[in-house]
Amino acid sequence: MHKYLKNLTATDFVVVLFYLFLTLLNIIFNARIPEWKYLVIANFLICSLVFFLAYMASFPEKKIWKQIHYWYLAPLILLTFKELYLMVKPIRQKDYDEYLIQIDRWLFGTDPTVALYSIANPILTEILQIVYASFYFLPIILGIELMINKRYKAFDFALFSIVYGFYLSYLGYFTFPAIGPRFTLHDFYAINDELPGLWLTNFLREFVNWGESITSTMPNAAEHVQRDVFPSGHTQMTLITMYLSVKFRAKTKCFLLPAGSALIFSTVYLRYHYVIDLIAGAAFMIFTMLSGIKLYNYWQKFVGKDYFEYNKV
């Protein structure tokens, strides 16, 4: 068995493990998930693809396969996100927004998304909507810098941390599914009027909606939207990216730190998240980094590769 696993990176291992977990859930809850058979087949094909890419990338002369092996994860994260769309609501069958709202009110004495409406203006909304929509690009920016500078060990660990972090946040969606304040505390269909931007806001808002399988004109969108509020993956993954940019002394940190801070603020201002989601996202980030380096180095030892240490990259 070891010879089949030795080509896998720690990131590949996490991907395969998570897809096996999703497959098990599909089988256990097959009576609730209409598409379960197709998802199981898709998961098997994805795991097979991971092993294939890892094998092809093991040949030093096949540099193109090494690049594909690195970057296949970008579309795979989105694909995994869409599989959750077909699983979370059928399995859990309950949303937890009421509890998240009560926690926010206990912490702040009010609803933060409502309070922030007092500072709303089109320029701020436009900027924050653009920043919010850049979420998936921030870790890619860091990854490109590390790759260009041939800091392959740092790149490999950053890639692992991002993928591992995403999958931990996905576990949170299963645990506490919720739809967010734009549906529960505000009128989803009035947001373009209540929080208008300038030129790109409505388009980007609709792009985000599309990513969550809804449109602004869909009847009863709250019933169809992805349950992806707790923890705030935008907060968790952005904090991971910001943290790594500092630890790796990346030049792009000069952009990632202010952009990331604005992005985290935008999640509440734009009514996508409760503040408790952000707090949970920060906690998930800390757990990701503390447990991630242990898991990463365990796998490195298992396959006979060097340990990762920040001060050696």
Condensed to tens digits (0 to 9), the pLDDT of residues 19-49 reads 999 999 999 999 999 999 999 999 999 999 9
Residues in the chain, overall count: 313
Average pLDDT over all residues of the chain: 95
237 pLDDT tier (thresholds 50, 70, 90)? very high
DSSP 306: P
pLDDT > 70? residue 226: yes
- Quick one: tokens of 250? 């990346």
The phi, psi pair for 280, rounded to 5°, reads -65, -40
pLDDT digits (tens, 9 = 90+) for 254-295: 999 999 999 999 999 999 999 999 999 999 999 999 999 999
- Give CA–CA dist 230/233, Å, rounded: 8
Omega before residue 231 within 30° of 0, cis: yes
pLDDT at 82: 95
Q: What DSSP state is assigned to residue 274?
A: -
Structure tokens given for 89: 């609501």
Give dist(CA 244, CA 289) in Å, integer. 10
How many CA atoms lie within 13 Å of 97's alpha carbon, on the beta-carbon side? 18
Q: Which pLDDT value is given to residue 228?
A: 96
Around Cβ 174, how many Cβ atoms within 10 Å? Answer: 16
pLDDT of residue 2: 62
Tell the residue number behind the tokens 């995994």, with chain if given: 80
Tell me which DSSP letter residue 195 carries: S
The arithmetic mean of pLDDT across residues 193-203, rounded, is 97
**What is the percent of the chain with per-residue pLDDT over 90, rounded to a whole number?**
91
Q: b vs e for 82-104, b when ≥16 Cβ sit within 10 Å of the residue's Cβ? A: ebbbbbbbebbeebbbeebbebb
Residue 5, H or E segment: helix 2-5
Note the pLDDT of residue 62. 78
32's tokens: 């609730």
How far is 100 from 252, CA to CA, in rounded Å?
34
User: Which of 277, 234, 230 has the alpha carbon at shortest distance from 104?
Assistant: 277
Q: How far apart are CA 185 and CA 168, in angstroms?
A: 27
- Please report, for residues 52, 111, 292, the alpha-carbon distance to residue 157 in angstroms, rounded to integers and kept in the order given: 21, 38, 9
Query: Do 240 and 282 contact (CB within 8 A), yes or no?
Result: no
Q: Where do the domains of the chain lie?
A: 1-93, 94-312
Name the residue among 174, 171, 176, 162 with its Cα closest to residue 77: 162
